Amino acid sequence: MKVQDVIYKGNYSIQVSFDDGTMGIVDLSDLVQKGIFEELMDQSIFAKVYTTGYSIAWSEELEIDATAIYAELSGKNPADAFTSIPSHATN
């Protein structure tokens, strides 16, 4: 499960696309009201969202793991997101 793309949609919402085809819009308005993420209340900063592949970030200091977002969009348990990943090389 790897994030392919993140697009700011407005009002603290982002569209996230994963490499398995899972895609959707997530509202992060609750996130921006907590701790270090309060900096993201400035929507011009929030709009600079990007992906590192396995996280969603706004800077090196402000990032979240994409696992919970994947679970929310796919309807899977976060632990199940990794059960289909092979632990060794396959042919």
- Using 50, 70 and 90 to split pLDDT, how confident is the model at 79? confident
Break the chain into its structural domains and give their ranges: 3-82
Locate tokens 């997101």: which residue? Answer: 81
DSSP letters of 4-72?
EEEEEEETTEEEEEETTS-EEEEE-TTGGGSGGGGGGGSHHHHTT-EE-SSEEESSSSSEEESHHHHHH
- Using 50, 70 and 90 to split pLDDT, how confident is the model at 87? very low
**Is 42 in a helix, a strand, or coil?**
coil
Locate tokens 């309807």: which residue? Answer: 75
pLDDT value of position 83:
56
Architecture of domain 3-82: 2-Layer Sandwich (3.30)
Model confidence at 74: pLDDT above 60: yes
pLDDT tens digits for 21-47? 999 999 999 999 999 999 999 999 999
pLDDT value of position 86:
47
